[in-house]
Amino acid sequence: MSASKNYPVKDEPKSIMQRLLDTVERVGNRVPHPVMIFVYLIVFVVLLSALLSLLGAQVTYQAYNPATGKIEQATTAARSLLTIDGIRFMFTGVVPNFMGFNAVGVIIVAMVGVGVAEEAGLVKALIRKLVIVAPPKLLTYILVFVGIVSSIAADAGYLVLIPLAAAAFLSVGRHPLAGLAMAFAAVASAFMVNVMIVPVDGILTEITNDAARLVNPNVSIDLAANVWFSIASVVVLTVLIGVITERVIEPRLGPYKGDYEVPGENVLSEEEYKGLRAARNALFGVLAFIGLLTLPPGAPLRNPETGAIIGSSPFMGSLIVSIALIFLVCGIAYGRAAGTMRTGAEAIAAIQKSIGALAGLILLLLVISQFIAIFNYSNMATLAAVSMAEFLEKLNLPTVALLIGFVIAVFGIDLIITAAIAKWAIFAPVFVPLLMQLGVAPEVVLAAYRVGDSPMNSITPLNAYFAMIVTFAIKYQKDAGVGTVIALMLPYVIAISVVWTTLLAAWYMLGLPWGL
């Protein structure tokens, strides 16, 4: 049976799923640019703060007093942004708000290294090397694992791994659309977890800390606050996506009957092999250098008072710098050996290109930083968190039920707002304080957000790469379209949503550590 018989052709009536997708796409196309969303939210907060202040809105609650070190009764009232003080704050705070928003520095520093590695071709060569050396029986699971961890290099998974996974499946006699769907699920629907610290972790952590300090100014989490849960999620999702591919997707597609042949896309040249060897040697060198700065007693990256490496230490505080350094040195070593980046000027050009590509994100962060500052000034987050906490406490719901409800809410919003940072900037100031009031640590709320933010990425047309995936599918199946991709991805989305949410709930109920 031809693979194309499993999919509706263009002149057939649209299925319910396709009609539903058309509706989601129409609604999604009406959603403004994320920058404009936050501009509208700023206007809304300004007007609402004035109204709440006029109505005398306030809450009384128990909070930590840093001056006394005790939990004391506190009262917080709404602060209008349309008063003299409020207007003065909005105008004089623009630059300080932006400069104090650590997410900006984190993402720029990270991309200094990752940009060089990507431009030199190191990231692409690493992915292709793994595809080549993978044993046939483990090919599925290795590709899934690489897809999940490819988030360390931003778009590399979408642009490199997904088409290579389809070609790799075809080269070993398997259906290319199965490889395409499998890699798309790994890259998109498990995007928010990794076995390593990735650049987006820094942004999410800083937003979480800003929200947590609304309840307790002394509470903060670090970059590794979710590392154990993330590693466990990577393992579970690797197995799950692999099983869905082999037990559901491939049997449904059947044998590939198309005429497309692999034109040697997954073959490494001798120059690329030289580059990988040089990058390996550079990696050992950088790790040794970081080790010398961290491991010996009294090393500069240890805590100067306790000598600790993990926790509150310069090592943990500089993880982004270490990651950027690793990618920078390895990228330069690869480029010189492979002949793709021979001079310092070329490396600088690569850095300029990677940072230049962040222009849209930096603009978004500028607006987000103002929104967070204005929202915090108004005290609306505290009012909302305390009021909702009191309401939920009266309902007597188990905390785990609240976490699951939060995850489901993020599932729905992700269909129309795909930007992880933008969504967390909206959710964190409300849900982190709310759940902290109920005894849930901020790292738990962040872990729940990771679960909610990812699965829907592979079925929403608002994903910037969705159209590209459809184009890849058409290369192997001429009558493929949006419905084809949705039909392929739905089993992954349903399975990942259910299993991952269950893992989150079980992790919380068992009291397992979330990170370092």
Q: Are 333 and 279 in contact (CB under 8 A)?
A: yes
What pLDDT score was predicted for residue 239? 97
Q: How far apart are CA 339 and CA 353, in angstroms?
A: 19
Q: How far apart are CA 23 and CA 17, in angstroms?
A: 10
Tokens of 230: 């993330």
Q: Are 229 and 508 in contact (CB under 8 A)?
A: no
pLDDT digits (tens, 9 = 90+) for 354-389: 888 788 778 888 988 898 889 889 988 778 767 766
C-alpha count within 13 angstroms, C-beta hemisphere, residue 473 = 28
Nearest to 406 by CA among 450, 362, 365, 364: 450
Tokens of 96: 């300080």
Nearest to 410 by CA among 221, 239, 204, 214: 204
Per-residue pLDDT of the chain (516 residues; tens, 9 = 90+): 333 334 344 445 655 644 654 564 456 446 577 788 789 989 999 999 999 999 999 988 765 565 665 546 778 899 999 999 999 999 999 999 998 877 778 778 878 888 898 889 887 787 677 667 777 788 899 999 989 988 775 566 777 778 878 878 887 788 999 999 999 999 999 988 998 887 678 788 888 988 888 888 888 898 889 999 999 999 999 999 999 999 988 988 888 887 766 544 557 888 989 999 999 999 999 999 999 999 999 999 998 988 888 666 888 778 778 888 998 999 999 999 999 998 999 999 999 998 887 887 788 889 888 988 898 899 887 787 677 667 766 776 788 888 898 898 888 878 766 778 877 877 788 788 888 888 889 999 999 999 999 999 998 866 767 777 887 888 888 877 777 888 889 889 999 999 999 999 999 999 999 988
Q: How far apart are CA 346 and CA 140, in angstroms?
A: 36
Q: How far apart are CA 323 and CA 197, in angstroms?
A: 8
Report which residue type is found at 132.
I
